[in-house]
Chains A and B, each alone.
Chain A
Amino acid sequence: MSDFETVAATENQAARRGPSGEPGTPNQVGAANKPRSLAGDAWRDLRRNPIFWISLALVVIFTLMALLPGVFTANNPNDCLLSRQHAGPSGGAIFGYDFQGCDTYSRAVYGTRASLLVGALAALGTGIIALVIGMLAGYFGRWVDAVLSRVIDVVLGIPLLLAAIVLLKRVSSDSQWARIGAVVFVLALLGWTTAARVVRSSVITAKEQDYVAAARMLGAGNSRIMWRHILPNSLAPVIVVLTIALGSFIAAEATLSFLGIGLKAPTISWGQDIDTGRIHMREAATPLIVPSAFLALTVLAFIMLGDAIRDAFDPKLR
């Protein structure tokens, strides 16, 4: 990420020097041949990248599925009859029925909501923590930076899955929302470090810019400079990191649910369905394969989308 920021910074300087540099020389860059911005270049790259479009389409489809599952399947995921245990496809259940006699496809569709919700909320929480910590560390520097950077080091040294296991074992409530909240809290609490480092480094770059000096000269206070000037200029790289993080949070949630300490029964989640499908794989494989495919595609979509955007913004790869 730092490459992207340094190049962005030098380009800014070049742009500022350009027109007012030497008054005598005619302006090389005419209106017809406008200088392309980094974002413009990135967009040109992205438009031609099939991975970007495929992953974007997948993200849109899964988001729609989370919002309106009824559009994608007519069957009720909780309408289970033991008499059709592991039965083949019939009546809208295009992938047949699982161990409990529930519609496999319908359960996978309805499972999207919990996964995306957890992923999005965890990414939001991560973003907030990362922005606050990274902004403080980057803007104030000195001992604030030293202390916060050590905190980041320590949290980064905690293995995510192990810590999540310990934390989630403390949650005894089985209510649907309590469990979702607990998983989101745990993931955000442990997952913010990378994003915070990115914020910190982009804040350090942004605070050296002339517009910050100008704002300070005009009498703006620290909070105004941070909120109005530095934040909007250091947001882009974090959003890319958070897109990738969203994918890995979805994977982490599914893993925790798979282990039986994440989301529990009334909530439909892919992790649990994969676990049940795994146990009965010798009798019927589709109840394992369908939620696995949904989970893998969702995680891949977010990771590839973030990766494509990051590559487009990284001039080193051009």
Chain B
Amino acid sequence: MFRYILRRLLQMVLAFFGTTLIVYALTFAGQGDPIQALAGERPVTPAQRAYLTEKYNLDQTGVGGFFYRYFDYVKDLLQGNLGESLTGRSIGDILQQAWPVTVRLALIALAVAIIFGVSAGVIAGIRRASIFDNSTLVLTLLVLGIPTIVLAPLAQYFLGVKWQLFPPTAGSDPTFYALLLPGIVLGSLSLATALRLTRASVAENLRADYVRTARSKGLVKRRIVIVHVLRNSLIPVVTFLGVELGNLMSGAIITEGVFNIPGVGFNLFRGIRTEDGPLVVGIVSVLVVVYLVSNLVVDVLYAVLDPRIRYE
């Protein structure tokens, strides 16, 4: 177990440096004159130029200089020092305010996926090729195929504006009710995937030898399903849901943007719209780290649940 975690950690460190290097190289390097870019259209005095050059170590040129500045960026990132947005607010502050909202939204979405996705998946897996199974399969295909930029505005229009079942936008301090519709929209994709995964897993395990043994011992079907099949089938689903929580926390750009929820995705959405470079890079860097860490946690969790994973 220890060796597995160690190896997985090393892999993550590699992936961390790989992705941050890419993000950094793409946003900062080779950008003409960064000082002029910072100042925009205004002229820069030689004194300001000298000050900024020293502050950001811009006098070191070539590959060495690039890595020097890259490690500066990583150091700042790890210390939580993300700089300021173009509007002068600290990006750390912005994120601190936005996280709780995003986490609440993600938890609602995950709850929707678990309650509806997993239970419907179990039923579909047990009654394979029934009407229920076939209709859920088509439905999930529809949900998986419809992009969020279609689903979110249409849900907002029909359920929020036309029939007025839900508040159409959330506002600055969203209530649970206001977050419910965006949560369902955000969770629908995970719901569909969780359903398909559960269904496949249950259907496969129902054909396993241990189920035949249990049946020949005379166990009732309910006990076979609940004790034997579910336990074994839910391992991949748990993994998926764990990864998905990480994704949901970072991937809510469109949903938060459309429903006006002041979370992390909304700030990224606004940063892109207002061409706020530092804000976009800051948020993307943090989200990449969140994504990597959540992947790591899930992999370790998976190894705890299923000992076979540890010995590759």
Asked if A and B bind, the verdict is: yes
Which residues of A are in contact with B by a Cβ distance under 8 Å? 51, 150, 153-154, 157-159, 161-163, 165-167, 169-170, 247, 251, 254-255, 258-261, 271, 274-275, 277-278, 281-282, 285, 288-289, 292, 295-296, 299-300, 303-304, 307
Shortest beta-carbon distance from A239 to chain B in Å: 19
Q: Can you pick out 6 interface pairs between chain A and chain B where the beta carbons lie within 8 Å of each other?
A: A159-B250, A166-B26, A281-B153, A299-B146, A299-B147, A304-B141
Given A166-B26, A281-B157; 14 other pairs, CB 8 A cutoff: A51-B138, A154-B18, A159-B251, A159-B287, A170-B26, A251-B147, A251-B149, A274-B149, A274-B150, A277-B153, A281-B161, A295-B149, A296-B147, A300-B142
CA distance A277 to B253 in the complex (A): 18
CA distance A288 to B11 in the complex (A): 44
With beta carbons under 8 angstroms apart, the residue of B149, B257, B280 that contacts A165 is B280
With beta carbons under 8 angstroms apart, the residue of B15, B27, B142, B288 that contacts A170 is B27
Query: How does the 8 Å CB contact mask read for B156-183 relative to A, with 1 for contact and 0 for none?
Result: 1100011000000000000000000000
Least CB separation from B272: chain A residue: A259
With beta carbons under 8 angstroms apart, the residue of B15, B19, B253 that contacts A161 is B253
Q: Check A259/B15 contact, CB under 8 A, given A167-B26, A281-B157, A288-B157.
A: no
Contact size range, B: 35 or more
Q: Are B281 and A166 in contact (CB under 8 A)?
A: yes
CA distance A282 to B156 in the complex (A): 11
Q: Are B272 and A292 in contact (CB under 8 A)?
A: no
Q: Check A258/B254 contact, CB under 8 A, given A157-B295, A251-B147.
A: yes
Q: Are A154 and B284 in contact (CB under 8 A)?
A: no
Asked if B6 CB lies within 8 Å of chain A CBs, one says no
Asked if B62 CB lies within 8 Å of chain A CBs, one says no
Q: By CB atoms of chain B within 10 A, which of A51, A254, A261, A278 has the most? A: A278
Shortest beta-carbon distance from A161 to chain B in Å: 7
CA distance A161 to B256 in the complex (A): 15
Shortest beta-carbon distance from B290 to chain A in Å: 10
Residues of A within 8 A of B101 (CB): none
CA distance A251 to B189 in the complex (A): 14
Q: Check A278/B145 contact, CB under 8 A, given A162-B288, A163-B22, A169-B277.
A: no
Residues of A within 8 A of B14 (CB): 150, 154
Interface majority SS on B: helix, strand, loop or mixed?
Answer: helix
Residues of B within 8 A of A261 (CB): 272
Least CB separation from A274: chain B residue: B149
Asked if B144 CB lies within 8 Å of chain A CBs, one says yes
Q: Are A255 and B148 in contact (CB under 8 A)?
A: yes
Shortest beta-carbon distance from A296 to chain B in Å: 5
Residues of A within 8 A of B149 (CB): 251, 254-255, 258, 271, 274-275, 292, 295
Q: By CB atoms of chain B within 10 A, which of A163, A247, A258 has the most? A: A258
Shortest beta-carbon distance from A125 to chain B in Å: 18
Q: Are B153 and A166 in contact (CB under 8 A)?
A: no
Residues of A within 8 A of B302 (CB): none
Q: Are A165 and B141 in contact (CB under 8 A)?
A: no
Q: Check A255/B147 contact, CB under 8 A, given A154-B19, A158-B19.
A: yes
Q: Are B281 and A274 in contact (CB under 8 A)?
A: no
Asked if B206 CB lies within 8 Å of chain A CBs, one says no
CA distance A259 to B251 in the complex (A): 13
CA distance A275 to B150 in the complex (A): 10
Least CB separation from B144: chain A residue: A303
Asked if B273 CB lies within 8 Å of chain A CBs, one says yes
Shortest beta-carbon distance from B127 to chain A in Å: 15
Shortest beta-carbon distance from B291 to chain A in Å: 5
Q: By CB atoms of chain A within 10 A, which of B23, B150, B162, B272 has the most? A: B150
Asked if B108 CB lies within 8 Å of chain A CBs, one says no
Q: Are A259 and B253 in contact (CB under 8 A)?
A: yes
